[in-house]
Amino acid sequence: MGTRLVEMLVERGATKVISFDVVPPPPDDTTWDHPNIEWRVGDITDARAVDDLLSTPNIGCVWHNAAAVGPFHPLPLYRKVNYSGTLNILAACRKYGIPKLVFSSSPSTRFTGVDVDGLTEDQMPPLPLKRYMQPYARTKAMAEMEVTSACCESLLTVSVAPHQVYGPRDNLFLPNLLEAAMCNKLHIFGNGRNRICFTHVDNYCHGLILAERALVNIDSPACGKFYIVTDGTTHPNGEQYLIFWEVLNEAIIAMGFTSLYTRMKLPKTLLLVVATICEILGKILGVTMKLNRFNVIVLTMHRWFDIAASHRDLNYTPIIDFREGWDETLVWFKAHWLSKQRVNSGGILGIATSTQDKIDIQDRSAKKIK
Protein backbone atom coordinates (compact mmCIF):
# COMPACT_ATOMS: atom_id res chain seq x y z
CA MET A 1 0.00 0.00 0.00
CA GLY A 2 2.79 2.43 0.84
CA THR A 3 4.40 1.95 -2.56
CA ARG A 4 1.13 2.52 -4.36
CA LEU A 5 0.33 5.64 -2.31
CA VAL A 6 3.67 7.17 -3.27
CA GLU A 7 3.02 6.37 -6.93
CA MET A 8 -0.49 7.82 -6.88
CA LEU A 9 0.59 11.02 -5.15
CA VAL A 10 3.11 11.63 -7.94
CA GLU A 11 0.57 10.65 -10.60
CA ARG A 12 -1.76 13.29 -9.18
CA GLY A 13 0.79 16.08 -9.30
CA ALA A 14 2.91 15.93 -6.14
CA THR A 15 6.29 17.53 -6.86
CA LYS A 16 8.03 15.90 -3.86
CA VAL A 17 7.13 12.75 -1.96
CA ILE A 18 9.42 11.43 0.78
CA SER A 19 8.98 7.76 1.64
CA PHE A 20 10.26 7.04 5.16
CA ASP A 21 10.76 3.31 5.73
CA VAL A 22 12.67 1.02 8.07
CA VAL A 23 14.12 -0.92 5.12
CA PRO A 24 15.87 0.23 1.93
CA PRO A 25 13.98 0.28 -1.37
CA PRO A 26 13.67 -2.96 -3.33
CA PRO A 27 16.70 -3.06 -5.65
CA ASP A 28 14.75 -4.12 -8.75
CA ASP A 29 11.85 -1.66 -8.40
CA THR A 30 12.32 1.33 -10.68
CA THR A 31 9.49 3.28 -8.97
CA TRP A 32 12.05 4.90 -6.72
CA ASP A 33 14.11 6.30 -9.59
CA HIS A 34 11.48 8.98 -10.18
CA PRO A 35 12.85 12.52 -9.65
CA ASN A 36 9.84 13.50 -7.50
CA ILE A 37 10.37 10.63 -5.03
CA GLU A 38 12.91 10.42 -2.24
CA TRP A 39 13.36 7.27 -0.11
CA ARG A 40 14.76 7.75 3.37
CA VAL A 41 15.63 4.84 5.63
CA GLY A 42 14.62 5.35 9.24
CA ASP A 43 12.49 4.14 12.13
CA ILE A 44 9.43 5.94 13.45
CA THR A 45 10.28 4.71 16.94
CA ASP A 46 13.44 6.84 16.75
CA ALA A 47 12.24 10.28 17.83
CA ARG A 48 15.40 11.98 16.54
CA ALA A 49 15.02 10.39 13.08
CA VAL A 50 11.37 11.44 12.88
CA ASP A 51 12.26 14.95 14.01
CA ASP A 52 14.94 15.19 11.32
CA LEU A 53 12.53 13.88 8.67
CA LEU A 54 9.72 16.30 9.48
CA SER A 55 12.05 19.28 9.76
CA THR A 56 12.14 19.22 5.95
CA PRO A 57 10.73 22.57 4.75
CA ASN A 58 7.30 22.93 3.12
CA ILE A 59 5.72 19.61 4.13
CA GLY A 60 2.02 19.89 3.35
CA CYS A 61 0.81 16.60 4.78
CA VAL A 62 2.06 13.49 6.56
CA TRP A 63 0.44 10.17 5.65
CA HIS A 64 1.23 7.86 8.56
CA ASN A 65 0.98 4.24 7.37
CA ALA A 66 3.72 2.49 9.36
CA ALA A 67 2.62 -0.25 11.75
CA ALA A 68 3.47 -3.62 13.23
CA VAL A 69 0.65 -5.65 11.63
CA GLY A 70 -0.76 -9.09 12.35
CA PRO A 71 -0.95 -11.34 15.43
CA PHE A 72 2.57 -12.79 15.42
CA HIS A 73 4.92 -10.03 16.64
CA PRO A 74 6.42 -9.77 20.14
CA LEU A 75 3.99 -7.89 22.37
CA PRO A 76 6.29 -4.90 23.17
CA LEU A 77 6.79 -4.23 19.45
CA TYR A 78 3.12 -3.31 18.92
CA ARG A 79 3.21 -0.56 21.51
CA LYS A 80 6.64 0.66 20.40
CA VAL A 81 5.75 0.98 16.72
CA ASN A 82 2.02 1.59 16.65
CA TYR A 83 1.65 3.87 19.67
CA SER A 84 5.03 5.38 20.56
CA GLY A 85 5.90 5.82 16.87
CA THR A 86 2.69 7.79 16.38
CA LEU A 87 3.51 10.01 19.35
CA ASN A 88 6.87 10.80 17.74
CA ILE A 89 5.13 11.81 14.52
CA LEU A 90 2.59 13.99 16.32
CA ALA A 91 5.31 15.73 18.33
CA ALA A 92 7.31 16.55 15.19
CA CYS A 93 4.20 17.70 13.31
CA ARG A 94 3.45 20.17 16.12
CA LYS A 95 7.08 21.31 16.38
CA TYR A 96 7.42 22.12 12.69
CA GLY A 97 3.91 23.41 12.03
CA ILE A 98 2.91 20.68 9.59
CA PRO A 99 -0.74 21.44 8.81
CA LYS A 100 -2.22 17.98 8.07
CA LEU A 101 -1.90 14.37 9.21
CA VAL A 102 -3.76 11.43 7.62
CA PHE A 103 -3.54 8.35 9.84
CA SER A 104 -4.02 4.82 8.51
CA SER A 105 -6.19 3.07 11.08
CA SER A 106 -7.95 -0.31 11.12
CA PRO A 107 -11.55 -1.51 11.52
CA SER A 108 -10.20 -4.07 14.00
CA THR A 109 -9.91 -1.23 16.51
CA ARG A 110 -13.72 -1.58 16.83
CA PHE A 111 -13.96 -5.40 16.67
CA THR A 112 -15.35 -7.17 19.72
CA GLY A 113 -15.96 -10.58 18.15
CA VAL A 114 -19.57 -9.71 17.36
CA ASP A 115 -20.58 -9.68 13.68
CA VAL A 116 -20.13 -6.40 11.82
CA ASP A 117 -22.97 -6.82 9.36
CA GLY A 118 -23.32 -3.65 7.30
CA LEU A 119 -22.63 -1.14 10.08
CA THR A 120 -21.55 2.47 9.73
CA GLU A 121 -18.62 3.85 11.69
CA ASP A 122 -21.01 5.45 14.21
CA GLN A 123 -22.83 2.16 14.74
CA MET A 124 -19.66 0.37 15.80
CA PRO A 125 -18.42 0.55 19.41
CA PRO A 126 -16.71 3.86 20.23
CA LEU A 127 -13.10 4.01 21.38
CA PRO A 128 -11.73 3.07 23.79
CA LEU A 129 -13.07 -0.48 23.99
CA LYS A 130 -13.13 -2.28 27.33
CA ARG A 131 -11.26 -5.16 25.72
CA TYR A 132 -9.46 -5.56 22.40
CA MET A 133 -9.17 -8.78 20.45
CA GLN A 134 -5.41 -8.48 19.90
CA PRO A 135 -2.45 -6.20 20.73
CA TYR A 136 -2.38 -4.81 17.20
CA ALA A 137 -5.95 -3.54 17.51
CA ARG A 138 -5.37 -2.14 21.00
CA THR A 139 -2.23 -0.20 20.06
CA LYS A 140 -3.74 1.07 16.80
CA ALA A 141 -6.75 2.28 18.79
CA MET A 142 -4.45 4.03 21.27
CA ALA A 143 -2.66 5.73 18.40
CA GLU A 144 -5.88 6.74 16.67
CA MET A 145 -7.20 8.33 19.85
CA GLU A 146 -4.02 10.39 20.11
CA VAL A 147 -4.38 11.49 16.49
CA THR A 148 -8.00 12.45 17.07
CA SER A 149 -7.28 14.43 20.22
CA ALA A 150 -4.43 16.25 18.44
CA CYS A 151 -6.79 17.73 15.84
CA CYS A 152 -6.81 21.52 16.08
CA GLU A 153 -6.59 24.60 13.87
CA SER A 154 -2.84 24.24 13.42
CA LEU A 155 -2.86 20.45 12.86
CA LEU A 156 -5.85 18.98 11.04
CA THR A 157 -6.09 15.20 11.43
CA VAL A 158 -8.24 12.36 10.11
CA SER A 159 -8.11 8.56 10.38
CA VAL A 160 -8.93 6.32 7.42
CA ALA A 161 -9.13 2.53 7.42
CA PRO A 162 -9.58 -0.05 4.67
CA HIS A 163 -10.87 -3.56 5.14
CA GLN A 164 -9.04 -6.59 3.77
CA VAL A 165 -6.68 -4.84 1.39
CA TYR A 166 -5.69 -6.79 -1.71
CA GLY A 167 -3.98 -6.14 -5.02
CA PRO A 168 -0.80 -6.79 -6.99
CA ARG A 169 2.34 -6.84 -4.81
CA ASP A 170 0.39 -7.88 -1.71
CA ASN A 171 2.81 -9.61 0.67
CA LEU A 172 0.49 -10.22 3.62
CA PHE A 173 -3.14 -11.23 3.07
CA LEU A 174 -3.16 -13.57 0.07
CA PRO A 175 0.34 -15.05 0.47
CA ASN A 176 -0.36 -16.33 3.98
CA LEU A 177 -3.60 -18.07 2.99
CA LEU A 178 -2.36 -19.32 -0.37
CA GLU A 179 0.72 -20.88 1.20
CA ALA A 180 -1.55 -22.86 3.55
CA ALA A 181 -3.76 -23.90 0.62
CA MET A 182 -0.69 -24.94 -1.37
CA CYS A 183 0.24 -27.31 1.48
CA ASN A 184 -3.34 -28.69 1.58
CA LYS A 185 -3.61 -27.47 5.16
CA LEU A 186 -6.30 -24.85 4.70
CA HIS A 187 -9.94 -25.69 5.42
CA ILE A 188 -13.07 -23.57 5.51
CA PHE A 189 -13.63 -22.29 9.03
CA GLY A 190 -17.19 -22.55 10.34
CA ASN A 191 -20.09 -22.70 7.89
CA GLY A 192 -18.19 -20.72 5.26
CA ARG A 193 -20.98 -18.18 4.76
CA ASN A 194 -19.50 -15.17 6.54
CA ARG A 195 -19.95 -11.91 4.63
CA ILE A 196 -17.01 -9.59 4.05
CA CYS A 197 -15.95 -6.54 2.06
CA PHE A 198 -12.61 -6.01 0.34
CA THR A 199 -10.57 -2.92 -0.54
CA HIS A 200 -8.35 -2.77 -3.61
CA VAL A 201 -5.06 -1.05 -2.83
CA ASP A 202 -5.83 1.71 -5.35
CA ASN A 203 -9.16 2.40 -3.69
CA TYR A 204 -7.53 2.70 -0.28
CA CYS A 205 -4.83 5.04 -1.53
CA HIS A 206 -7.50 7.07 -3.33
CA GLY A 207 -9.34 7.37 -0.01
CA LEU A 208 -6.18 8.50 1.79
CA ILE A 209 -5.55 11.20 -0.79
CA LEU A 210 -9.16 12.40 -0.66
CA ALA A 211 -8.94 12.55 3.14
CA GLU A 212 -6.12 15.08 2.89
CA ARG A 213 -8.17 17.18 0.50
CA ALA A 214 -11.11 17.06 2.91
CA LEU A 215 -9.04 18.74 5.64
CA VAL A 216 -9.74 22.31 4.58
CA ASN A 217 -10.07 23.91 8.01
CA ILE A 218 -11.06 23.01 11.55
CA ASP A 219 -14.75 23.19 10.61
CA SER A 220 -14.37 20.56 7.89
CA PRO A 221 -16.65 17.55 8.56
CA ALA A 222 -13.71 15.14 8.29
CA CYS A 223 -11.58 16.77 10.99
CA GLY A 224 -10.85 14.40 13.84
CA LYS A 225 -13.04 11.66 12.37
CA PHE A 226 -12.62 7.96 11.54
CA TYR A 227 -13.67 6.58 8.14
CA ILE A 228 -13.70 3.19 6.46
CA VAL A 229 -13.21 2.89 2.70
CA THR A 230 -13.88 -0.29 0.70
CA ASP A 231 -14.64 -1.39 -2.84
CA GLY A 232 -18.25 -0.39 -2.18
CA THR A 233 -20.84 -2.07 -4.37
CA THR A 234 -19.53 -5.47 -5.45
CA HIS A 235 -22.57 -6.81 -7.33
CA PRO A 236 -25.01 -5.38 -9.90
CA ASN A 237 -27.86 -5.63 -7.38
CA GLY A 238 -26.10 -3.18 -5.07
CA GLU A 239 -24.69 -5.53 -2.44
CA GLN A 240 -21.58 -4.28 -0.66
CA TYR A 241 -20.38 -7.63 0.59
CA LEU A 242 -19.01 -10.93 -0.66
CA ILE A 243 -18.78 -14.41 0.85
CA PHE A 244 -15.21 -14.58 2.16
CA TRP A 245 -14.51 -18.27 1.52
CA GLU A 246 -16.02 -18.20 -1.97
CA VAL A 247 -13.76 -15.33 -2.97
CA LEU A 248 -10.71 -16.91 -1.38
CA ASN A 249 -11.49 -20.17 -3.18
CA GLU A 250 -11.39 -18.31 -6.51
CA ALA A 251 -7.78 -17.40 -5.76
CA ILE A 252 -6.93 -20.95 -4.68
CA ILE A 253 -8.36 -22.47 -7.87
CA ALA A 254 -6.68 -19.79 -10.00
CA MET A 255 -3.31 -20.91 -8.58
CA GLY A 256 -4.13 -24.50 -9.54
CA PHE A 257 -4.62 -25.72 -5.97
CA THR A 258 -7.38 -28.02 -4.74
CA SER A 259 -10.73 -26.31 -4.11
CA LEU A 260 -11.56 -25.74 -0.45
CA TYR A 261 -15.01 -27.16 -1.12
CA THR A 262 -13.54 -30.64 -1.63
CA ARG A 263 -12.25 -30.63 1.94
CA MET A 264 -14.04 -30.99 5.25
CA LYS A 265 -15.20 -27.79 6.92
CA LEU A 266 -13.86 -27.24 10.42
CA PRO A 267 -16.50 -26.35 13.06
CA LYS A 268 -15.91 -23.02 14.77
CA THR A 269 -16.33 -24.49 18.27
CA LEU A 270 -13.69 -27.14 17.62
CA LEU A 271 -11.33 -24.56 16.15
CA LEU A 272 -11.69 -22.32 19.21
CA VAL A 273 -10.80 -25.22 21.49
CA VAL A 274 -7.74 -26.13 19.40
CA ALA A 275 -6.73 -22.47 19.14
CA THR A 276 -6.88 -22.11 22.92
CA ILE A 277 -4.64 -25.17 23.30
CA CYS A 278 -2.22 -23.72 20.72
CA GLU A 279 -2.04 -20.45 22.64
CA ILE A 280 -1.33 -22.26 25.93
CA LEU A 281 1.35 -24.43 24.32
CA GLY A 282 2.83 -21.37 22.68
CA LYS A 283 3.27 -19.65 26.03
CA ILE A 284 4.82 -22.77 27.57
CA LEU A 285 7.20 -23.37 24.67
CA GLY A 286 7.91 -19.72 23.96
CA VAL A 287 6.71 -19.86 20.36
CA THR A 288 3.83 -18.28 18.43
CA MET A 289 1.30 -20.58 16.80
CA LYS A 290 -0.38 -19.52 13.56
CA LEU A 291 -3.74 -20.77 14.81
CA ASN A 292 -5.16 -18.55 17.54
CA ARG A 293 -8.59 -17.48 18.74
CA PHE A 294 -8.40 -14.13 17.00
CA ASN A 295 -7.82 -15.76 13.61
CA VAL A 296 -10.70 -18.18 14.17
CA ILE A 297 -13.10 -15.40 15.09
CA VAL A 298 -12.22 -13.03 12.25
CA LEU A 299 -12.30 -15.83 9.68
CA THR A 300 -15.83 -16.80 10.71
CA MET A 301 -17.52 -13.48 11.56
CA HIS A 302 -19.32 -11.08 9.22
CA ARG A 303 -17.08 -8.10 8.39
CA TRP A 304 -18.58 -5.57 6.02
CA PHE A 305 -19.41 -1.90 6.34
CA ASP A 306 -21.72 0.85 5.18
CA ILE A 307 -19.34 3.47 3.76
CA ALA A 308 -21.89 6.27 3.34
CA ALA A 309 -19.87 8.57 5.61
CA SER A 310 -16.78 8.43 3.40
CA HIS A 311 -18.99 9.16 0.37
CA ARG A 312 -20.48 12.14 2.18
CA ASP A 313 -17.47 13.70 3.92
CA LEU A 314 -14.53 12.60 1.76
CA ASN A 315 -16.32 12.55 -1.59
CA TYR A 316 -15.09 8.96 -1.85
CA THR A 317 -16.18 6.66 -4.64
CA PRO A 318 -14.12 3.55 -5.49
CA ILE A 319 -12.04 3.94 -8.65
CA ILE A 320 -11.44 0.20 -9.11
CA ASP A 321 -14.37 -2.20 -9.38
CA PHE A 322 -13.97 -5.32 -7.22
CA ARG A 323 -14.26 -7.73 -10.15
CA GLU A 324 -11.66 -5.86 -12.16
CA GLY A 325 -9.34 -5.52 -9.17
CA TRP A 326 -9.64 -9.13 -8.02
CA ASP A 327 -9.07 -10.54 -11.51
CA GLU A 328 -6.01 -8.30 -11.94
CA THR A 329 -4.67 -9.48 -8.60
CA LEU A 330 -5.04 -13.16 -9.46
CA VAL A 331 -3.27 -12.65 -12.79
CA TRP A 332 -0.39 -10.94 -10.99
CA PHE A 333 -0.12 -13.69 -8.38
CA LYS A 334 -0.02 -16.38 -11.03
CA ALA A 335 2.74 -14.54 -12.89
CA HIS A 336 4.87 -13.34 -9.97
CA TRP A 337 4.04 -15.24 -6.80
CA LEU A 338 3.23 -18.80 -7.77
CA SER A 339 6.51 -19.68 -9.41
CA LYS A 340 8.55 -18.42 -6.46
CA GLN A 341 6.88 -20.25 -3.61
CA ARG A 342 8.43 -22.96 -1.54
CA VAL A 343 6.27 -25.34 0.45
CA ASN A 344 5.92 -24.12 4.02
CA SER A 345 5.81 -27.21 6.20
CA GLY A 346 4.25 -25.23 9.03
CA GLY A 347 0.95 -24.53 7.29
CA ILE A 348 -1.79 -22.60 9.03
CA LEU A 349 -1.64 -24.84 12.11
CA GLY A 350 2.14 -24.66 12.40
CA ILE A 351 4.60 -22.37 14.07
CA ALA A 352 4.88 -18.90 12.60
CA THR A 353 8.23 -18.02 11.12
CA SER A 354 9.95 -14.94 12.46
CA THR A 355 10.18 -13.37 9.00
CA GLN A 356 8.13 -13.88 5.90
CA ASP A 357 9.78 -14.71 2.60
CA LYS A 358 9.78 -11.53 0.60
CA ILE A 359 7.97 -11.46 -2.70
CA ASP A 360 9.99 -10.17 -5.60
CA ILE A 361 8.30 -6.87 -6.31
CA GLN A 362 7.78 -6.37 -10.00
CA ASP A 363 7.05 -3.19 -11.86
CA ARG A 364 3.60 -2.78 -13.33
CA SER A 365 2.08 0.00 -15.33
CA ALA A 366 0.75 2.65 -13.00
CA LYS A 367 -2.87 3.60 -13.46
CA LYS A 368 -3.13 7.21 -14.56
CA ILE A 369 -5.88 8.88 -12.56
CA LYS A 370 -7.33 11.91 -14.22
- For the chain, the three-class secondary structure string (H helix, E strand, C coil) is CHHHHHHHHHHCCCCCEEEEECCCCCCCCHHHHCCCEEEEECCCCCHHHHHHHHCCCCCCCEEECCCCCCCCCCHHHHHHHHHHHHHHHHHHHHHCCCCEEEEECCHHHHCCCCCEEEECHHHCCCCCCCCCCCHHHHHHHHHHHHHHHHCECCEEEEEEEECCEECCCCCCHHHHHHHHHHCCCCCCECCCCCEECCEEHHHHHHHHHHHHHHCCCCCCCCCCCEEEECCCCCCCCCCCCEEHHHHHHHHHHHCCCCCHHHCCCECHHHHHHHHHHHHHHHHHHCCCECCCHHHHHHCCCCEEECCHHHHHHHCCCCCCCHHHHHHHHHHHHHHHHHHHCCCCCCCCCCECCCCCCCCCCCCCCCCCCC
Between 183 and 30, name the one with better pLDDT: 183
Query: Looking at the predicted structure, is the pLDDT value of residue 349 above 50?
Result: no
Q: What is the pLDDT, as a whole number, of residue 342?
A: 47
Q: How confident is the model at residue 331 (pLDDT cuts 50, 70, 90)?
A: very high
pLDDT level of residue 209 (50, 70, 90 thresholds): very high
Of 288 and 151, more confident: 151
- Which of the two residues, 289 and 246, has the higher pLDDT score? 246
Query: What is residue 367's predicted lDDT score, i.e. its pLDDT?
Result: 38
Question: Which pLDDT band holds residue 253 (cuts at 50, 70, 90)?
Answer: very high
Write down the pLDDT at residue 287.
80
- Is residue 203 pLDDT above 60, yes or no? yes
User: Given this model, what pLDDT does residue 356 score?
Assistant: 33
Confidence at residue 344, expressed as pLDDT on a 0 to 100 scale: 43
What mean pLDDT, rounded, does the chain reach?
90
Q: Residues of the chain with pLDDT > 70: what percent? A: 92
pLDDT score for 370: 30
Asked if residue 5 has pLDDT above 60, the reply is yes
Cα–Cα dist 246/242, whole Å? 8
CB 333, CB 255: distance < 8 Å: yes
Is 80 exceeded by the pLDDT of residue 361?
no
- Look at residue 142 in the predicted model and tell me its pLDDT: 98
Residue 286's pLDDT band (cuts 50, 70, 90): confident
User: What pLDDT band is residue 30 in, cutting at 50, 70 and 90?
Assistant: confident
Confidence tier at 26 by pLDDT (50, 70, 90): confident
Residue 350 pLDDT greater than 60, yes or no: no
Looking at residue 340, its pLDDT comes to 77
pLDDT at 73: 85
With cut-offs at 50, 70 and 90, classify the pLDDT of residue 362. very low
Domains in the chain, CATH or no CATH each:
43-340 (3.40.50.720)
CA distance 44 to 82: 9
Q: Does residue 233 carry a pLDDT above 50? A: yes
Q: Render pLDDT for 186-202 as a digit per residue (tens, 0 to 9).
A: 999 999 999 999 999 99
pLDDT in tens, 52-106: 999 999 999 999 999 999 777 888 999 999 999 999 999 999 999 999 999 999 9
Give per-residue pLDDT as tens, 254-273: 999 999 999 999 999 999 99
